Amino acid sequence: MNYPHPIIAREGWPFLAISLALSIAASFGCMFWSIPLWIITLFVLQFFRDPARNAPTQANAVIAAADGRVIVVEKAWDEYLKRDALKISVFMNVFNVHSNRSPIDGTVEQRWYHPGKFFNAALEKASLENERNALWLKTNDGQDVTCVQIAGLIARRILCYVEPGVSLHRGQRYGFIRFGSRVDIYLPLTARPKVTLGEKVSAGETILADL
């Protein structure tokens, strides 16, 4: 879902409005006691920031769907498409941008939502046991990519704005996860990874792999 980038993600507007109102109200009473509220307001402001991104133009590039740190680059089982795949996982901490973007140009073939637990998203079992939302994306030349939003230890809301049949452009914003999480990408085994463990990546800009 494209929309003009407002610098602050629309998902954060209610949180920012409430924290800002409380901070201002507290400032009229006691400036000292308002300091913690202003710190919270600054945290909310940085968490929900949503800068515009310029996606790479290479036709075969798979780009990061989330900001954060690469924690998995390995062969794994894609439980959604029932296949062996190259899995690349990116962990987002509370200081990363949490907008999620399409890793490819393609069409949403299917969407799955699974309620679940809230383990630390950096743990491998989070891929199978945490709350998650998965998209099956098909490129214009027929290759399959699975993109999975996974809730984390303190994340309690996965937002996804697309349904089957929707066409996405590489780098297009399609969802958001509140307060710490991860995104798993499953690619054909023929894909060539372009990132390494521990590398920091930016959603909509960093190339994860070539198809």
Mean pLDDT across the stretch 174-200? 92
Instruction: Give residue-wise pLDDT tens across range 133-152.
Output: 999 999 989 999 999 999 87
Flag whether pLDDT at 120 surpasses 70.
no
Flag whether pLDDT at 49 surpasses 50.
yes
Range name among 45-54, 159-168, 197-206 with the lowest pLDDT average: 45-54
Per-residue model confidence (pLDDT) at position 50: 86
Mean pLDDT across the stretch 124-136? 83
Assigned CATH for 61-210? 2.70.70.10
Catalytic residues: 181
Per-residue model confidence (pLDDT) at position 51: 85
Could you give the CA distance from residue 170 to residue 23 in angstroms, rounded to a whole number? 39
- Domain borders along the chain are 7-50, 61-210
Most confident stretch, 36-45, 50-59, 157-166: 157-166
Per-residue model confidence (pLDDT) at position 1: 42
Instruction: Give residue-wise pLDDT tens across range 52-99.
Output: 888 998 989 999 999 999 999 999 999 999 999 999 999 998 888 888
Among the listed residues 65, 135, 131, the one whose alpha carbon sits nearest the alpha carbon of residue 107 = 135
Task: Report percent pLDDT > 70 for the chain.
Answer: 91
Longest dimension (CA), the chain: 63
Could you give the CA distance from residue 1 to residue 14 in angstroms, rounded to a whole number? 20
CB atoms near residue 40 (< 10 Å): 16
Q: Is 211:143 a contact under the CB 8 Å cutoff?
A: yes
Per-residue model confidence (pLDDT) at position 151: 85
Hey, which residues does 55 pair with through a beta bridge? none
**Residue that wins the pLDDT comparison between 151 and 165:** 165
